[in-house]
Structure formats: structure tokens, C-alpha cells
Amino acid sequence: MNIAVIFAGGSGVRMGAGIPKQFLEINGKPIIVHTLELFENHNEIDKIYIVMLEDYIPYMNKLVKKFALSKVCGIVKGGETGQDSIYNGLKKAQSENPDDSIVLIHDGVRPWVSYDTICNNIEGVKKNGNAITCTPCFETILMSTTGKTVETVPYRKDTYAAQAPQSFYLGEIIADHDKVRATENRYDNLVDSCTLIKSIGKEAHMVEGNRGNIKVTTPEDVYMYRALIQYRENEQAFGIGSTPDILKQK
């Protein structure tokens, strides 16, 4: 069983749109629907669970019906933090599926993950027990604790950007969450599932993602996503032109 847990609990503060960013419409569909359709239409995904702000669950139910998202099996309210929310989604999935199911944890506002990246995550879990989607960094990364002076500059060839999905066996990632939740600091400074498993000493295995797999967080990201959609539509309509690297599926 391959399950997607889609985290869509953001409030959209950085977007400044007045509504959670996952519900902003682009080309006639909310961003969350664009994301869900990638998993709905993937042959290897069996079920989808969504985690979001409780007040928006009725609206999400309407979207699921409107866009015929038949693989959505549950919509769960979020928790106090992002990791609390993901835990809620994982526990809902565990209540209905075996622990050896593969679960892909994905941001609801990453609507451009490629078909192959989803495949690579599933295969990565089968091979190594987990899979963290990454892309090589093309800009120099600077380390600074003050934000004023550069302290260290790691070699660019050794730096990668973590994306999503981040994928695991369902029972194992819940057990990892339980270990963290039992500590005094719980989820402090744990920004994603990769950070979480590394905090308890586990090895995290990388799989290569696609460069267009942006997280739509700011107005600039919205413009970029619209441009990506427009390019794809033009390419499909005219059947001409080469595909730039940012759109290539790996």
C-alpha cells in the first residue's frame, strides 16, 4: 500500500492573500487541488490523506467532490505545529492501513513534483527504508548564526536542498514521532521529517527530485508556478521547442 499524506495546514501569512495559500486559485483550481491531482493520477498511489486547518475541512470536502479526487480517504484537522499536524495525518492513515505501507509526506503547496520523483520515493523506501527528495544547490550556501557575518561556506558540491515528498514505512515514521514527542523539547527546531529522524540518530537516504518542485509560499512563487503551467500548456499545444532543465522530470 502506497499512501500520500498531504500537509496543507498553513495560514498563508507570508503570502498576504487573506486566505491560506493552498486555496489560492491558479488556472481555475486551488493550489491544493493541483497538488492532489499529481497523486490522484499516479498509478502507484493507492490512498491520500489530507491534513489542514479545521475551519477549512468543509470547503476541502467540497473540492474533493468537485474535482473527483477519489483516492482521498480522509481529511484530518491539524495540530499546534506542522509536525503535530503531520502526526495527526499519519495516525489517521495507521488506523486504516498496515504499518508496512509506504507513506509519502508532501506539502500541499508543492504542485509541481514530477511523476518520476514520486516513483523514486517509493523505490527509495523499498531499498533503504526512507527517501528524502533533494536537488543539488546551484547557489553558494552561507552559514551564519547572526545573520550579519559569514562564518562558514560549505563546498557547493556538497550542498543540497531538501524538498518533498519525504517517504517512510508508516509504522516506522510514527514510532520515530513517538520518540520525539516523548522528549522535553518535542518538535523544537524540527522543520521536516528528515530533520526529525536525524534528531534521533537515524540515517536519511536521498533521492533526486525535479528542479521545478517549488514550494508556493510567496507571491513570486505564484508567478513562477503560473509560468511553469503556461510553458507546459504551450509545449503541449504546439509540440515544439526543447524543454528547459527546470521542467525536465528526473
Q: What is the DSSP-derived secondary structure letter of residue 139?
A: S
Half-sphere exposure of 127 (CA within 13 A, CB side): 12
Omega prior to 165 cis, within 30 of 0? yes
Q: Which of 100, 124, 77 minimizes the C-alpha distance to 1? A: 100
φ and ψ of 205, to 5 deg = -105, 135
**What is the pTM (predicted TM-score) of this model?**
0.90
Per-residue pLDDT, 250: 43
Domains of the chain, each with CATH number or no CATH: 2-135+161-247 (3.90.550.10)
Q: Which residues of 20-44 are buried (b: 16+ CB within 10 A; e: fewer)?
A: bbbbbebeebbbbbbbbebbbebee
Q: Residue 9's pLDDT is what? A: 74
pLDDT in tens, the chain (250 residues): 999 999 997 655 544 556 888 999 999 999 999 999 999 999 999 999 999 999 999 999 999 999 999 999 999 999 999 999 999 999 999 999 999 999 999 999 999 999 999 999 999 999 999 999 999 999 999 999 999 999 999 999 999 999 999 999 999 999 999 999 999 999 999 999 999 999 999 999 999 999 889 899 888 998 889 888 887 777 666 664 545 555 454 4
Which are the contacts of 71, defined by CB distance < 8 A and separation ≥ 6?
Answer: 39, 40, 45, 46, 47, 48
List of residues 6+ apart from 217 with CB closer than 8 A: 14, 15, 21, 109
Which sign does the torsion angle of CA 112, 50, 172, 83 carry?
Answer: positive
Count of alpha carbons within 13 Å of 73, Cβ hemisphere only? 19
